[in-house]
Amino acid sequence: MEAIKESELILNPDGSVYHLNLLPHQIADTIITVGDPNRVNRVAKHFDNLEYSVDKREFHTKTGTYKGKRFTVISTGIGTDNIDIVLNELDALANINLETRTPKSEHKQLTFVRIGTSGSIQKSIPVDSFVVSQKGLGFDGLIFYYESDKAINPSFTKAIQKHLKIHPGKPKPYIIDGDEQVVKLLAEGQGIKLGITGSNVGFYGPQGRVLRAKLQDPSFIDQLVEFKCDNEIITNLEMETSAIFGLSKILGHRAAAINAIIANRATGNFSEQPKESVDKLILYTLNQLVKLD
């Protein structure tokens, strides 16, 4: 098999992958992703022991065990463009022989779980609640750079493309399923909501926020609120889930996401205790994930 060229799979002088600075033995099979680099320590402080701690740019990584299960927690920074880097480099660590630069003959499936913050678009989902993403709805267009026909949920993607009045200059929206088993496990807790999570390419205009710049389509959030397919609704907006779900499906991994709702866009409220909410979410998620095979 032909080796992947140095310009395509870039390795640092110590053999680690280019942006993450990680070596294959430094990652676990279960990987928690968070947007904020500061959140990595807030997850890893619960570990029984810490094996590795590696930082480069916004990508901070810690690997250790919690209740005997091995976890890696990594910050992705903000946005689906960073997810392209994080998912491809983590997959390379697991599934490419970095010495021969060829894909390994045996596929290793990783499990990705995003622990994030998000804004609810439904009145009925208050701040400080937790939402598990049954599906990711992408406005980013990232997966269309890959062969992704088999990754998308065809009926939901068709339904959202029909429902939304999307300006032709914007990427087409797409919907991807989260991993059924991991989603179910994360949704077990009392009061946890399930829904479709929208991932937008920005925090302000792309999520319908107006400060000074006027929106091309002021009805966008209302259109999202009204969408329903097979009794599933769009619950919340953030900036990474669609790409994590999409690339995981394309690369043969499992993915789920759970978000603390810190803003309610329908009522205009912001959480009075976002840090406490996220810390509660972290502990809940770790305790659920130790039950995973």
C-alpha dist (Å) from residue 78 to 27, 49, 253: 21, 28, 21
d(CA 186, CA 188): 6
Q: What are 119's two structure tokens? A: 């804004």
Count of residues of this chain found to bind ligand URA when the rule CB under 6 A is applied: 10
Q: Does 32 bind ligand R1P (CB under 6 A)?
A: no
**Which of 17, 30, 35, 251 touches ligand R1P by CB under 6 A?**
35
| Binder of residue 131, out of ligand URA, ligand R1P, none (CB less than 5 to 8 A by kind) | none
Q: Looking only at residues 62 through 91 of this chain, which bind ligand R1P when binding is defined by CB under 6 A?
A: 78
Between 64 and 116, CB nearer to ligand URA: 116
**Which of 52, 146, 203, 227 touches ligand URA by CB under 6 A?**
203
Count of residues of this chain found to bind ligand R1P when the rule CB under 6 A is applied: 10
Q: Does 221 bind ligand URA (CB under 6 A)?
A: no
Q: Does 198 bind ligand R1P (CB under 6 A)?
A: no
**Which of 76, 118, 242, 288 touches ligand URA by CB under 6 A?**
118
**Which of 27, 28, 34, 110 touches ligand R1P by CB under 6 A?**
34
Q: What are the beta bridge partners of residue 237?
A: 119, 198
Cβ 222 to ligand R1P, closest distance in Å? Answer: 21
**Which of 64, 77, 79, 119 touches ligand URA by CB under 6 A?**
119
Cβ 262 to ligand URA, closest distance in Å? Answer: 5
Q: Does 205 bind ligand URA (CB under 6 A)?
A: no
Between 119 and 136, CB nearer to ligand URA: 119
Between 122 and 200, CB nearer to ligand R1P: 200
| Nearest-CB residue for ligand R1P | 35
Between 143 and 260, CB nearer to ligand R1P: 260
C-alpha dist (Å) from residue 158 to 99, 155, 207: 43, 5, 21
Side-chain half-sphere of 136: how many Cα atoms within 13 Å?
Answer: 36
Q: Does 203 bind ligand R1P (CB under 6 A)?
A: yes
Report the amino acid identity of residue 77.
G
Q: What are 86's two structure tokens? A: 């994080």
Contact window for ligand URA (CB under 6 A) among 56-64, 146-154, 188-196, 233-241 = 233-241
Q: Which residues bind ligand R1P (CB under 6 A)?
A: 34-36, 78, 116-117, 203, 238-240
Q: Which residues bind ligand URA (CB under 6 A)?
A: 117-119, 203, 207, 237-239, 262-263
